Amino acid sequence: MLHIITLHFTTPAWLEIQKRHIEKYTTRYDPNTGQQNYKVWLGFYNQELPSDFVVPTNWETIDLNKLYPPDGRNEHYLQTEWMYHNIVKDNMKDDDILVFMDSDAFPVIPHWASELQGILTDNQGRLMNTQASRETLGYPEVVGIYQLENRGIAQTDNYYPAPDLCFFATTKKVWEEKQLQWTIDPSNPEHQNPAFGLLDIIREKEVRECKLMRTNIFDAHNVMFGVYGNMIYHQACGSRAIIGRPLETAGAKAETSRHCFTGYDIFGRQKLGNWYREDFIKKCSDIVETNTQIFDVIYNRLQEDLDCEFVRRYFLGIP
């Protein structure tokens, strides 16, 4: 069974879009056993769910406004970790699959879940004719998106590339036994992202990875609007391009203007300024605004796409 953890912060903009795609492309019940195939753990923070948002019966809502500790830091990765450890974990079996999925990420092909299960748990019977174990044969223990096309201005070679929180999957057993977690080591000056802490653990524990790379045939931006492994879409800048950063986070002040840019927007434009000292949003407002306009075009199309076919047609060129 899959357990999908997703967090919607401040804006309800992605609720219906994500729900539509998950519902369309994920089989709810096993036709052979009648058992439930997946469950979504929907966390929301700094907002209330819209009154007209219908929560599917196999979705569980987590109101972080009430449940998240008042002294807890306003960080996506910390709130996601909190949901797993305090709510989701005890509802999972060891072989269940844990999926972290951004609010602006979702599947775009049928059978993505069975493909994921096949990679992580061999439910397709690939070991039936051998006495060897999955570990002996070296099958993947985790599946994650790696954005080779993206790099942060402070991202060192040692941490490029790194797994992205937008989509990461493993079994509960592996997550627990390998002590995986999204984390930042404050004593490590290279740690600019919780993915770097996870990458440290993956390397230390020699965790076997299946890396999902960008498979777009067509691009509207180098990094945003990406399809990975031909099955998972990630918009990127999902909340910032709609509401900015309305609350302060560690190392980042509140910024209520709508803005849209990725790490590579900064990394690839170092000739335009010293972004360690200068404000990219102010110095490159034309670039940020243009990105946001492109974002709106794609977002509006997704919002209108009730059949959930636009991503495949536009970015992959398939029906």
CA separation for the pair 13, 239 (Å, rounded): 8
Q: pLDDT at position 123, please?
A: 53
Q: Which of 46-60, 125-139, 205-219 has the lowest mean pLDDT?
A: 125-139
CB atoms within 10 A of CB 281: 15
Residues 248, 74 contacting (CB under 8 angstroms): yes
Do residues 43 and 75 touch, judged by C-beta distance below 8 A? no
Contact predicate 136/159, CB 8 Å: no
CA distances (Å), origin 38, targets 5, 12, 34, 59, 81: 11, 22, 12, 9, 19
Helices (H), 61-214: 64-67, 76-83, 112-121, 134-137, 172-177, 194-204
pLDDT for the residue 252: 76
pLDDT, tens digit (0-9, with 9 covering 90-100), for 94-120 = 999 999 999 999 999 999 999 999 999
What CATH number is attached to the domain comprising 79?
3.90.550
Question: What are the strands, taking DSSP E only, across the chain?
Answer: 2-9, 38-45, 59-63, 97-101, 105-107, 142-146, 163-171, 209-212, 226-228, 232-234
**Range 70-77 average pLDDT:** 93
Ramachandran bin of 236, using left for φ above 0, alpha for ψ from -120 to 50, beta for the remaining angles:
left
pLDDT at residue 249, rounded to an integer = 77
**pTM of the entire predicted model:** 0.95
Distance CA 258, CA 276 (A): 21
- Give the per-residue pLDDT at 132: 56
pLDDT in tens, 245-269: 888 877 778 888 899 999 999 999 9
Mean pLDDT of all residues in the chain? 93
161-167 mean pLDDT: 96
Q: In the chain, what percentage of residues exceed pLDDT 70?
A: 95
> What distances in angstroms separate CA 55 from CA 19, 27, 61, 71, 101, one per listed residue?
9, 17, 8, 29, 17
Q: Does the structure show a pLDDT above 60 at 130?
A: no
Q: Please count the structural domains in the chain.
A: 1
Whether the pLDDT of residue 6 is over 80: the answer is: yes
The token pair at 247 is 């609350």
Instruction: Report the SS3 class of residue 42.
Output: strand
pLDDT over threshold 80, residue 126: no
Q: How many CA atoms lie within 13 A of 264 on its CB side?
A: 13
Report in angstroms the alpha-carbon separations of 26 from 37, 116, 185, 215, 310. Answer: 8, 11, 36, 20, 17
Domain span at residue 292 reads 2-316
Residues 6+ apart with CB under 8 A from 200: 185
Asked if residue 127 has pLDDT above 60, the reply is no
Residue 239, both tokens: 């909340």
| Residue 47 scores a pLDDT above 90 | yes
